Amino acid sequence: MTKNLKFKDVSSLKKVGKESEVIKSPVITIVGMKRTIGNFLPVSHDGEGNETYIDKVEHLLGKRDGVRAEFIARKQEGIERRAHMNIIRDKFIEYLDKDGYKNNDKVETANKEDDFNEKWKKIFGWNCIIPNDLCISCPNCSLFGGWNSDSKAEKNNLSKSSKTFSRVRSFDTYSIQSGNECIITDESINGMKIGNQVAEDNSKATASNFHYYETVKAGVYFPFIVMIERATLFDVASYLKAIRWADNHGYGKYSARNGKFQTKIWAIGNGNPKFSILDILEQAKEIDEIKVDNFKELIKFEGNTIYEDSKIEELEDEFDEQFKEYFEDLIGYEKDGE
């Protein structure tokens, strides 16, 4: 089945949903490297008092391997879903306001509403609020999946709830660096300056103002792999946009000030990857510089690959045109002469 798993350029990837199949389930895999540009607190557990411990693992690659920070897939995908939703919503409002669509019946009906959720409901039939009130109709729900309850179905006079499974497959990942090169601690009244846990005036600090922080420091690398099943060009382009949004808005705990990343998309491959996060970590131990050229022999897929270059930027730039085509189909827009 892998003989059809190939694309040479952006135009051929546009057909991936129709022509590139693995048992009728085409897969696009995005691989890259994230680098922290400030403090990062990957925390998936409940805090205890005035202590914050990050997620971490010991001896991941053997007994002599140190302590590495862990960035679980659920947390990564969570912020990227919100990023994707924000991008889609911004475009949705932009297109509702475009002069060329204002005479369309659906757009005209939606624009009579002042509230954003009501506008959305007029187009998609449901509100869409993460995490418990999803529409199961929009591009975000199509990509990341979702479920709405029986109570919501009853409220909308439907016989039963609806759900769809996520087509995104993310992987837990771990820091390239370990030990003191990765994790630092801070026990002070300065800390992260969070809420009222820290006294504004140090002279008035008490024991309750002290907070013990464990954090990943700046300059730490995290490889990542994201697979998108039954992918379309719209899916791929919008996900690349979502990664940029998430980098600037922050991952992890206290992300308003922390958790910012610089992400390099190393490769986009057609088909499943033939390597794992652990393979990347193992190879990183043998090299001095973290760049895609040092990993090209490792990063292989079932089909062809686009490596880090202008072609990946070209893919991301396809988002606007892909959204335009989607929006016009959504509202039943007919161009002059058609």
Domain co-membership, 64 together with 174: yes
Domain co-membership, 251 together with 136: no
Q: Is residue 157 part of a domain?
A: yes
Nearest-angstrom CA–CA distance, 32 and 153: 40
Which of the four pLDDT bands, split at 50, 70 and 90, describes residue 243?
very high
Mean per-residue pLDDT for 69-90?
94
Domain co-membership, 304 together with 221: yes
Domain co-membership, 103 together with 241: no
Most confident by average pLDDT, 1-10, 40-49, 134-143: 134-143
Give the pLDDT of residue 112.
94
Domain co-membership, 63 together with 95: no
Full residue range of the structural domain in which residue 151 is found: 82-166
Give the pLDDT of residue 288.
87
Most confident by average pLDDT, 162-166, 172-176, 200-204, 308-312: 172-176
The reported pTM is: 0.83
Q: Is residue 192 part of a domain?
A: no
Domain co-membership, 68 together with 175: yes
Mean per-residue pLDDT for 255-277?
92
Q: Is residue 17 part of a domain?
A: yes
Residues contacting residue 35 through CB under 8 Å, at least 6 positions apart: 219, 220, 221, 222, 261, 262, 263, 264, 290
pLDDT at 136 over 60: yes
Q: Which percentage of the chain shows pLDDT scores above 90?
A: 47
Domain count, the chain: 2
pLDDT at 309 over 90: no
Domain co-membership, 255 together with 301: yes
Give the pLDDT of residue 9.
43
Residue 235's φ and ψ, nearest 5 degrees, are -60, -50
pLDDT at 77 over 90: yes
Domain co-membership, 271 together with 305: yes
Q: Is residue 189 part of a domain?
A: no
Q: Is residue 185 part of a domain?
A: no
Residue 313's φ and ψ, nearest 5 degrees, are -60, -35
Residues contacting residue 219 through CB under 8 Å, at least 6 positions apart: 35, 36
- Strand-pairing partners, residue 267, are 31, 307
Nearest-angstrom CA–CA distance, 258 and 247: 10
